Structure 1
């Protein structure tokens, strides 16, 4: 798998943000309270969450630029959930405005890193650079960029408007393979075999299961989403088996 550079990540963030804004622009008032692809969430919930995570990640970078850190959401996981529930019922125009402003804020924060890199050539290691500490997962700004990329791409599909996981790029899917290795149970090892692509092994347990199919279907399954193309197959010792149960999504916001 090819490593993703900060420059590539920045390009992908802009693409993902454009896709979310485009989908939101096509929604109607009746679409907001309709079901999303996430159980128990309307499209309004998804839009409210996109707004929330975009603002939260922008704040991570704004504090990092001052050499400071701040929790991802005010009030932690409970604060995140409360804000989503409070804002899910907003009218469509309010959602569009909130999403666009939040995305602009986040992109402005990430774009400033590229501008700093161009100015002094050493911003990656300084305060406010890609390696500046943030509170999200005890990581650095680059980790926050990958997190926002995941949130925007996956939740664009969760809006349930016809843009499903089959639209995810190979690069994004392979990123998910690495990030979501944390969902593999301790006693298991998954050998991922995307059709026409090299195998990827995640997990270190003794029980080995081969999961084959289109790269987007494998990524969707790992992400807890419905595969779009119906190509997934699992086998162990050359026999067909059920897809293994996965651990919960590795949350970046500790529950209280």
Structure 2
């Protein structure tokens, strides 16, 4: 069961971590490439600011974004702002999300995200946490998948294996961390059952599309190619 209050606390901590890191930059560092193809660090920060507002919209029962085109344009326009503007926007949008989350609400209700995806409102704070933690790694400033909180890594692996469960292009796959924790995913294709084993960070990197999986041990077939997130 989701504990939205616990996750909101983790969101606050992840926000502070990222703000402390970005506060060390200058405008030149902001303009440097991130690990996401075609995106600078400025693009990543602009996306995170707009995502905070978008998830606030979700909690209030509004469309997440006015449109995909508006979302993309806002990120592109926002990416070129000076560092001081980016940080102020990031902090202000985080505050707006926190304020919405503090409003009395039924956290068991169903909410609608992008592309008609629905979920429990109680999972929205964790979705924000995913954005903050994974994109902090994407900024390429020394914060790596291995540095993520262990609880987050385990929960994100569970979230992603659940997401790919039954996917028609993913064979039945057992995912096992070095400490023995096991998850299952796929099962929607006719391919042979596959076993994938590795460090928790390595498994998360593969599942989240941040690593190619070459460091993982695969038996029963080839490493499954996962759909884009």
TM over 0.5: yes
TM-score range normalised by the length of the shorter chain: 0.7 to 0.9
**Superposed counterparts of 1:62-141, under 5 Å:** 63=60, 69-75=61-67, 77-110=68-101, 112=102, 116=104, 128-136=105-113, 137-141=117-121
How far residue 191 of structure 1 moved from its aligned partner, in angstroms, is 0.9
Q: Is this contact kept in 2: 1:60–1:70, CA < 8 A? A: yes
**Structure 2: distance between partners of 1:227 and 1:5:** 32
How far residue 179 of structure 1 moved from its aligned partner, in angstroms, is 2.4
Structure 2: gaps (5+ residues): none
Structure 1: gaps (5+ residues): 64-68, 117-127, 250-256
Moved runs in structure 1, 4+ residues, more than 3 A?
none
Which piece of structure 1 moves more, 175-184 or 28-37? 175-184
Secondary structure of 2:128's partner? helix
Higher relative contact order (CA closer than 8 Å, sequence separation 6+)? 1
TM-score, normalized by length of structure 1?
0.79
CA displacement, residues 22-71 of structure 1 (integer Å, 9 cap, x when unaligned): 1221222111110101111000000000001011112322x2xxxxx211
How far residue 4 of structure 1 moved from its aligned partner, in angstroms, is 4.4
Secondary structure of 2:23's partner? helix
How far residue 134 of structure 1 moved from its aligned partner, in angstroms, is 2.6
Q: Is this contact kept in 2: 1:212–1:233, CA < 8 A? A: yes
> Which residue number corresponds to residue 135 of structure 2?
155
> Which residue number corresponds to residue 198 of structure 1?
181
Q: Is this contact kept in 1: 2:36–2:138, CA < 8 A? A: yes
Q: Is this contact kept in 2: 1:234–1:242, CA < 8 A? A: yes
> Which residue number corresponds to residue 35 of structure 2?
37
**Structure 1: distance between partners of 2:212 and 2:151:** 17
**Structure 1: distance between partners of 2:52 and 2:130:** 11
> Which residue number corresponds to residue 149 of structure 2?
169
CA displacement, residues 94-151 of structure 1 (integer Å, 9 cap, x when unaligned): 10101010111112222x15xx4xxxxxxxxxxx231234322233321322211111
> Which residue number corresponds to residue 179 of structure 1?
159
Q: Is this contact kept in 2: 1:178–1:202, CA < 8 A? A: no
How far residue 201 of structure 1 moved from its aligned partner, in angstroms, is 1.3
How far residue 227 of structure 1 moved from its aligned partner, in angstroms, is 7.2
Secondary structure of 1:245's partner? coil
User: Residue 59 and residue 31 in structure 1: after superposition, are their counterparts in 2 closer, same or farther (change >3 A)?
Assistant: same
Cα-Cα RMSD: 2.1
Q: Is this contact kept in 2: 1:189–1:201, CA < 8 A? A: yes
**Structure 1: distance between partners of 2:212 and 2:45:** 22
Count how many residue pairs are aligned between Structure 1 and Structure 2.
Answer: 221
Secondary structure of 2:62's partner? coil
**Structure 2: distance between partners of 1:170 and 1:49:** 25
How far residue 90 of structure 1 moved from its aligned partner, in angstroms, is 0.6
